[in-house]
Homo-oligomer: A and B are copies of this chain.
């Protein structure tokens, strides 16, 4: 049984949850509800495992961007290191962030700071992303997995912001992480 206290207040009444499709990385969740208009209908959305997203800063003040080839879109994208948990319910997220930084760019950080969360989408794909700022990053050899094609590109932080404004950086989660890091680097 779910507790959706605000949902109840706004007229949703929860009846039950089904998972009509489950994959290693996500599951399709279907809640049967009485909606605010009194009708019973499903509300269907995707549940995923927690994801971490890392803004790595070198001692020289550069942010370590990556260029990654993405099979589904058949293109390269500007991104930052990121990765998903193996569990739906948990995992040590900071440890996951350390591992992804090491694997994707060969990075080791002197200090880590949690920058809160952001969301991939809010309706169909309410996936939570945990943001970290890694400072004093030194780069060694990458340890990428099969199918990960990643180039490492440190750039000045102001240039990364300019790339988000111009549209060279096209990822919503990366934009969210850059705004959050901007607040910390100004402060």
> Which residues of A are at the interface with B, using a C-beta cutoff of 8 A?
4-7, 10, 12, 20-21, 23, 25-26, 28, 31, 33, 35-37, 39, 43-46, 48, 68-77, 79, 84, 115-127, 129, 146-147, 149, 161, 164-167, 169-176, 178-180, 182-183
Contacts and interface: CB of A to CB of B under 8 A. Distances in A.
Given A37-B146, A172-B175, A176-B176, 8 more contacts: A28-B28, A35-B147, A39-B146, A73-B122, A118-B175, A119-B170, A119-B171, A164-B180
B121 A127 contact: yes
A55 to B, nearest CB: 13
Given A43-B72, A146-B36, A25 B124 contact: yes
B71 A7 contact: yes
A35 B33 CA distance: 41
